[in-house]
Amino acid sequence: MIIEPTILSLIVVKIRKGKFKNLEKIEINGWYLLLIAAGIQILSSILKGKGFDIKGFSLENGLMLLHFISYMLMIICVILNLSKNSMKAFLIGIILNFIVIFANGGMMPVSLNGIKGINDNIGSQLPISDFDIKHQGVTPDTKFVYLSDIILITKPYPLPKILSIGDIFIMIGLFTFLQEAMVIDEEKNPNCND
């Protein structure tokens, strides 16, 4: 999901005569919240993957709580940086994904037909629910299906994938963020001559 907007943005940056070293000047308030959120999601994946269990403790409820906390940290970090235009798109994307994930038990519903469209072998092996740590198949009981991973991008596109509307906003946010970071408006910043 991040490869395409990053590559496209870097091409546009080059055309607009932006500079990679301008990334050093970007300031993100509360950036450490994103690191903590990523750490929590990695920890959740490891715990679920290893089947970690404590007597009297529901692993599923604990993982859902950790996932919820990680989303809250991401949302707080984005809100702290809303003065940047890119953060508005990030916020919309994260909230849309948050709504569908937590309305469906803490997992992103994914169209099984869409997965089959990307890879026939994978699609035929997937169960109807909980096919990995953070995703589950769309069922008749799925809430907010239109916010789920249902947008299919197939071959001949070189990186076939299935996205949600939220993912598209996050991609727009990433593209815009890199533009803001690397292309400095000389009229607004006359002192930036490098």
| Residue 151 belongs to domain spanning | 17-182
Residues 6+ apart with CB under 8 A from 13: 20, 178, 179, 182, 183
156: preceding bond cis by omega (within 30 degrees): yes
pLDDT for residue 127: 45
Q: Would you say residue 68 lies in a domain?
A: yes
pLDDT in tens, 84-141: 999 999 999 999 999 999 999 888 998 877 666 555 544 444 444 444 567 788 888 9
Q: Which segment of 39-43, 178-182, 187-191 scores lowest on mean pLDDT? A: 187-191
**70 in a structural domain:** yes
pLDDT of residue 118: 57
Residue 78 maps to a domain: yes
* pLDDT for residue 38: 93
In a domain, 11, yes or no: no
> Is the per-residue pLDDT at 75 higher than 80?
yes
Say if 43 falls within a structural domain.
yes
* Mean local confidence (pLDDT), 159-175: 92
In a domain, 32, yes or no: yes
pLDDT at 63: 77
User: Which pair of tokens denotes residue 112?
Assistant: 């099984």
3 state DSSP class of 148: coil
Q: Is residue 146 part of a domain?
A: yes
Please indicate, yes or no, if residue 107 is contained in any of the structural domains: yes
Domain count of the fold of the chain = 1
pLDDT band at 161 (very low <50, low <70, confident <90, very high): confident
Q: What is the per-residue pLDDT across 10-64, written as a single tens digit (0 to 9) for each?
A: 899 889 888 888 888 888 999 999 999 999 988 887 777 666 555 555 556 677 8
